């Protein structure tokens, strides 16, 4: 078989190269073509003749001659009268008012007088009905997550080539829970889950038209992920405001329980709270369709408001300033007494220094008097002190003391 094909291809190529193959006379037509019922198409030659042909013949799928053009004369088949026309220069055919029966292969034959050679070509036409759809039909009634199944059916009229399903714009494919039937006409989901909520789209198309239908699928589920929002620590006299939330379709029915009392609603509010309002607050969420419920609780503590918290910002600032002023006053008073004490001590030291045998001679030109302590003598006196030979009234100067001539005017500075 492979050898036969190879020999055939070789023969065609050889004859074509030698100019003996009839392929040189083949016309190339545009196609295959698509058309819709009631529409029109034009069969066009890609390589039209170099000169107007003297004879043009078009044949339909049933090998019936549609039209023959010979010079100024045209012969048209009765079924195509008013539906066809031929271009005498390019040999193209215009076919109108298409029907499904026009689907098939079309052949053209032309003869050019200058060469006398007959040329031919062929192409195909597919005619489609424009598609119209009906709303998607959903079976399954009320859908409950984990318990229900659903079938979505997409019906359409016309020539259907493809039928595709998407959910929220994302294409759907077969899976553990998704199955397609009747060439994607029906989409089955079993069982449905909360994630199956969304918009389902069925798109039906053919080469000449495309139509889509949408269906919103609602799956009941919940309640789940219940939470309480609110403040757990409250000062007496302030609001207690708690809110209960849960994921659920439809919306859950909420009930609050505290100290044997039940209150309906998603929020629990107590305007004037007291110590007796401390305790456990329980919220229960219930779905009336799924008949499922879930609860959670929060411990609320109501305590007396601390005194410091009751002070305004201005009052706190005033107290801080008062403390600062008091501290500065105490510090200033302490400094004053310390300086006075130093003045008295300085006067005593000055008198003792003048009487000391270790004081250097003073001059009347000095603006201030200085007391110098010989380090050797100081060391000796220190030794005497340790040995107990120094009298209690003896004074030992181990640093340089400087003071002005009148110690009553300014305090003594120790270098």
Please tell me the predicted confidence (pLDDT) of residue 415: 31
Q: Are strands 233-235 and 293-303 parallel, antiparallel or unpaired?
A: parallel
Q: What is the pLDDT of residues 348-381, one digit of tens each?
A: 444 444 444 444 444 444 433 333 334 443 444 4
Of 189, 211, 207, nearest to 198 by C-alpha is: 189
**What's the domain range around 119?**
25-128
- Under DSSP, is residue 18 helix (H, G, I), strand (E, B) or coil? helix
Q: pLDDT higher for 214 or 400?
A: 214
180 pLDDT more than 90: yes
Same domain, 113 and 40: yes
Residues 105 and 40 in one domain: yes
Same domain, 83 and 144: no
Secondary structure letter of residue 45 according to DSSP: B
Partnered with residue 198 across adjacent β-strands are: 217
Report residue 298's pLDDT band, with 50, 70 and 90 as the boundaries. Answer: very high
- Which tokens sit at 355? 């009487």
Q: How high does pLDDT run on average in the chain?
A: 78
Rg (CA), the chain: 56
* Pair 116, 137 in one domain: no
pLDDT, residue 320, reads 59
Dihedrals phi, psi of 179, to nearest 5 degrees? -135, 140
Q: What is the pLDDT of residue 279?
A: 96
Q: What is the rounded CA–CA span in Å between residue 39 and residue 99? A: 8
Most confident of 3-7, 153-157, 277-281, 374-378: 277-281
Indicate if the pLDDT at residue 288 is higher than 50.
Answer: yes
Q: How confident is the model at residue 7 (pLDDT cuts 50, 70, 90)?
A: very low
Stretch 19-45: mean pLDDT: 82
pLDDT over 50 (residue 32): yes
Residue 47 pLDDT = 87
Question: If you average pLDDT over residues 397-406, what whole number do you get?
Answer: 40
**Is 59 found in the same domain as 121?**
yes
State whether 213 and 225 are in the same domain: no
Residue 376 in any domain: the answer is yes
Query: 48-62 pLDDT, tens per residue?
Result: 887 888 899 999 988
pLDDT above 80 for 340? no
Positive or negative, the CA dihedral 265, 267, 272, 277 is positive
Q: Is residue 392 part of a domain?
A: yes
d(CA 155, CA 137): 8
pLDDT, tens digit, 9 for 90 and up, residues 193-238: 999 999 999 999 999 999 999 999 999 999 999 999 999 999 999 9
What's the rounded mean pLDDT across residues 13-31?
60
User: How many structural domains compose the chain?
Assistant: 4
Residues 200 and 238 in one domain: no
Evaluate whether residue 293 is within a structural domain: yes
Among residues 168, 187, 217, the one where a domain terminates is: 217
Q: Give the containing element (helix H, strand E) for 368.
A: strand 368-371
Domain boundary at 171, 198, 217, which?
217
By the 8 A CB rule, do 149 and 192 touch? Answer: yes
Nearest to 138 by CA among 210, 195, 222, 202: 202
Condensed to tens digits (0 to 9), the pLDDT of residues 85-111 reads 999 999 999 999 999 999 999 999 998
| Residue 333: predicted pLDDT | 53
Task: Choose between 12 and 174: higher pLDDT.
Answer: 174
Q: Are residues 359 and 376 in the same domain?
A: yes
Residues 6+ apart with CB under 8 A from 259: 279
User: What pLDDT is attached to residue 314?
Assistant: 54
CATH number, residue 145 = 2.60.40.10
Pairing of strands 33-36, 368-371: unpaired
Let me know if residue 330 belongs to a domain.
no
Question: Is residue 251 pLDDT above 60, yes or no?
Answer: yes
- 217, 232, 258 — which closes off a domain? 217
List of residues 6+ apart from 108 with CB closer than 8 A: 27, 29, 43, 45, 56, 57, 58, 59, 91, 93, 120, 121, 122
Check residue 384 and give its pLDDT. 45
In this model, does residue 65 exceed pLDDT 50? yes
| Eight-state DSSP code of residue 102 | G
**Cα(339)–Cα(342) distance, rounded to whole angstroms?**
5
Q: Could you tell me whether strands 293-303 and 55-59 are parallel, antiparallel, or unpaired per DSSP bridges?
A: unpaired
- Answer whether residue 257 shows pLDDT above 60: yes
pLDDT at 117: 80
> Is the same domain home to 100 and 142?
no
Tell me: do 262 and 244 sit in the same domain: yes
Is residue 326 included in any domain, yes or no?
no
- Predicted model pTM: 0.61
**How confident is the model at residue 147, as a pLDDT?**
94
Regarding whether 124 and 36 lie in a shared domain, the answer is yes
The angle subtended at Cα 294 by Cα 289 and Cα 295, nearest 5°, is: 140
Residues 53/120, Cβ–Cβ less than 8 Å: no
DSSP 8-class letter at 24: G
Confidence of residue 313 (pLDDT cuts 50, 70, 90): low
**8 A C-beta contact, residue 371 and residue 351:** no
What is the structure's pLDDT at 49? 83
Residue at 7 is within a domain: no
Alpha-carbon span 132 to 137, nearest angstrom: 15
Which stretch of DSSP H or E encloses residue 263?
strand 261-264
Does residue 227 sit within a domain? yes
Q: Residue 77 — very low, low, confident or very high, per pLDDT cuts 50/70/90?
A: very high
Domain annotation covers residue 324: no
40 and 115 co-located in one domain: yes
């Amino acid at each position: 078989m492979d050898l036969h094909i190879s020999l055939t291809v070789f023969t065609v190529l050889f004859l074509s190269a030698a100019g003996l193959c009839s392929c040189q006379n083949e016309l190339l037509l545009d196609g295959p073509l698509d058309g819709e019922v009631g529409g029109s198409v034009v069969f066009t030659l890609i390589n039209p003749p170099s000169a107007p042909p003297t004879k043009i013949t078009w044949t339909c799928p049933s090998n019936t001659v549609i039209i023959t053009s010979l010079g100024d004369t045209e012969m048209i088949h009765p079924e195509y009268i008013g539906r066809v026309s031929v271009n005498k220069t390019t040999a193209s055919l215009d076919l109108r008012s298409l029907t499904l029966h026009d689907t098939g292969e079309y052949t053209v034959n032309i003869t050019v007088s200058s060469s006398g050679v007959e040329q031919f070509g062929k192409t195909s036409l597919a005619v489609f009905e424009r598609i119209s759809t009906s709303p998607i039909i959903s079976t399954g009634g009320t859908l409950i997550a984990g318990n229900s199944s659903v079938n979505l059916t997409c019906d359409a009229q016309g020539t259907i080539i493809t039928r595709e399903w998407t959910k929220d714009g994302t294409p759907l494919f077969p899976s553990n829970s998704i199955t397609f039937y009747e060439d994607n006409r029906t989409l089955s989901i079993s069982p449905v889950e909360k994630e199956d909520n969304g918009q389902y789209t069925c798109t039906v198309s053919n080469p000449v038209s495309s139509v889509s239908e949408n269906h919103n699928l609602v799956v009941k589920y919940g309640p789940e992920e219940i939470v309480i929002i609110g403040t757990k620590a409250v000062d007496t006299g302030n609001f207690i405001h708690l809110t209960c939330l849960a994921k659920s379709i439809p919306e859950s029915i909420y009930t609050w329980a505290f100290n044997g009392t039940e209150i309906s609603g998603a929020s629990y509010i107590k305007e004037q709270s007291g110590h007796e309002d401390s305790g456990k607050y329980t919220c229960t969420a219930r779905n009336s369709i799924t008949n499922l419920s879930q609860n959670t609780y929060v411990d609320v503590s109501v305590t007396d408001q601390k005194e410091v918290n009751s002070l305004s910002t201005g009052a706190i600032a005033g107290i801080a300033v008062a403390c600062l002023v008091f501290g500065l006053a105490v510090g200033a008073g302490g400094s004053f007494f310390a300086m006075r004490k130093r003045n008295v001590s300085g006067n005593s030291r000055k008198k003792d220094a003048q009487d000391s045998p270790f004081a250097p001679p003073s001059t009347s030109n000095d603006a201030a008097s200085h007391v110098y302590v010989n380090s050797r003598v100081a060391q000796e006196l220190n030794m005497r002190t340790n040995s107990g030979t120094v009298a209690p009234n003896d004074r030992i100067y181990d640093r340089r003391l400087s003071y002005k001539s009148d110690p009553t005017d300014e305090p003594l500075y120790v270098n």
